Amino acid sequence: MSSYLIAPSILSADFARLGEDVANVLKAGADVIHFDVMDNHFVPNLTFGPMICQSLRDYGITAPIDVHLMVKPVDSLIPSFAKAGADIITFHPEGSDHIDRTLQLIKDHGCKAGLVLNPATPLHCLDFVMDKLDVILLMSVNPGFGGQSFIPTTLDKIKLVREKIVASGRDIRLEVDGGVKADNIAEIAAAGADMFVAGSAIFSKDDYQQAIDEMRAQLAT
Ligand code: DX5
Ligand code: ZN
């Protein structure tokens, strides 16, 4: 398996000084910036769009940006996010009428593509699109808010998805999002995840470096 990636979710960052906060979390050792886009329709919350992504690029953020689209419909936002500097774009199958087409649209715009499965969404929608996936994101909370508790049944789901990835023979990242903390990250990795989104567990701490170091220490054990 490839190396582990830690992706702080800026949902829990300080929006009034976002550029500085993102720069600080990268300086503290984050690998990827997780960018939660919510439309107050697919999920009951409203966040930010491509302009904020572009602003981070203009501020000088060069790290990969992982755009998690919790929106419906999704397609119209893909060209704007690609242009605004997204590297990875993931979406929920429930947000697209034509999942294969949306994945292709993301790839045609030069980004890595992924599907996001809610806690109760079954795995079968992965079956005929594995060849187009660079990332599979498993939600370990119901999407919409930071600071929720990890849903333990996700661990079995992670194992099943890891088996699917191994069977596909493809290099697909297995990302987990929601309630990830230093005290459960080792278990999540042992189940088969290799990319970890953490919002409140990092941004609620005064010392981002310490928060990320604690997670990496757990991953090394
Ligand atoms: C929830 C978002 C998550 C969220 C994670 O809908 O997709 O990325 O910010 O936050 P924590 O780590 O606090 O659960
Ligand atoms: Zn997310």
Mean pLDDT for the chain?
97
Nearest CA to 109 among 92, 86, 132? 86
Euclidean distance between CA atoms 202 and 169, whole angstroms: 33
Task: Pick the atom of ligand 1 nearest to 143's CA.
Answer: 6
Tokens 């397609």 appear where?
Answer: 75
User: b vs e for 115-142, b when ≥16 Cβ sit within 10 Å of the residue's Cβ?
Assistant: bbbbeebeeeebeebbebbbbbbbbbbe
Q: Binning pLDDT at 50, 70 and 90, where does residue 221 land?
A: confident
Average pLDDT over residues 30-37: 98
pLDDT band at 1 (very low <50, low <70, confident <90, very high): very low
Banded pLDDT at 20 (limits 50, 70, 90): very high
The catalytic position among 21, 39, 177, 194 is 177
Q: State both tokens at 173.
A: 């990242």
Average pLDDT over residues 159-175: 98
Cβ(146) – ligand 1 distance below 6 Å: yes
Q: What is the pLDDT of residue 178?
A: 98
The pLDDT tens digits for 52-100 are 999 999 999 999 999 999 999 999 999 999 999 999 999 999 999 999 9
Domains of the chain by residue range:
5-220
Which atom of ligand 1 lies closest to the CA of 148? 14
Q: May I ask the CATH class of domain 5-220?
A: alpha beta
* Tens-place pLDDT, residues 132-155: 999 999 999 999 999 999 999 999
Burial class (CB within 10 angstroms; exposed 0-12, middle 13-18, buried 19+) of 4: middle
Residue 36 C-alpha to ligand 1 middle, in angstroms? 8
The protein residue with its alpha carbon nearest to ligand 1, atom 9, reads: 146
ipTM strictly over 0.85? yes
Active site residue 108: no
